[in-house]
Amino acid sequence: MSRSVLWTFGTLAVGGLVFWLVLALDIPYQSTATPETTSATTSGTTPDPPLRSAPPADVSAWVTDIRPGPDDHSAVLRVDLPGCAVGPRIQITEADDRIDASVLFQPGKGPDCKQVPTDFPLKTTAPIGKRPVLVNAGDVWGLTSTGWKKCDKILGCEPPTDHCDKAWVAQVEFGAEAEHPGTTRACDQNWLIHDLQRHSGQAPTRVVYRWADNGWTSFASAKDGGCSEILAVEPAFPTHLCQNLTPPS
């Protein structure tokens, strides 16, 4: 037998032995074929689900009046409510010293959505008593001897009967935008002389007021003491309130 024939048989024998060992040892076989692609691998990412729109935010109706209810646990809120308002309802939060109330709704759509006066009953767990009711994010109402009344931020729900009370004077200073408390020089139920301290470092300004229906109204100012400048504007001003006054300082 020639050498080439022996070499061929030897090569086949070695190859068969190697293949038998692969099968016996369960060595994984890696294919070189191109893997199939799926829609997930070709698209890269899964599309997000569509976003749901949030419901419209609540809106507060404007409270224009409060009236007594049938008992001491109740009142009636009058509000300006759009005719197309959706789901109007009253919301109440009680505390020992106050009651917060609001009428909430969601804006609707319609060809005719005018404001309509609408009443909403307010019911409290405890008697309302002297507790103020806060509406419109800041307006204060109180139950007085003559019924419900919108309260002044300075004078409160029942203004003092004494027109010379410090609350009435504070209202004067608030209206004049005075930065510092001034000095009352003279006062009775109908007339007031008050030295305003409008700005720091400036000399006081003497202002004279007469009583109107709902507060003090200025009508004159004075740089000197005494009554001459005041009487020149209002001869009926009582001189005993000004005759001994020194100039503002």
Phi, psi angles (nearest 5°) of residue 185: -95, -30
pLDDT score of 108: 87
What pLDDT, on a 0 to 100 scale, did the predictor assign at position 120?
A: 97
Looking at residue 213, its pLDDT comes to 85
3-state secondary structure of 90: strand
The Cα–Cα gap between 61 and 66 comes to 14
**How high is the pLDDT of residue 21?**
46
* CA 49 to each of CA 46, 52, 101: distance values in angstroms, whole numbers, following the listed order: 9, 9, 40
Long-range contact set of residues 203-206: C-beta below 8 Å, sequence gap at least 24 = 203/248, 203/249, 204/248, 204/249, 205/248, 206/247, 206/248
Write the DSSP string, 75-88. Answer: EEEEEEEETT-EEE
pLDDT in 10s for each residue of the chain, 249 residues: 445 444 444 454 445 444 444 444 455 544 444 545 444 444 456 666 666 666 678 899 999 999 999 999 999 999 999 989 999 999 999 999 999 999 999 998 877 789 999 999 999 999 999 999 999 988 999 999 889 999 998 999 999 999 999 999 999 999 999 999 999 999 999 999 999 999 988 899 999 999 998 899 999 999 999 999 999 999 999 999 999 999 998
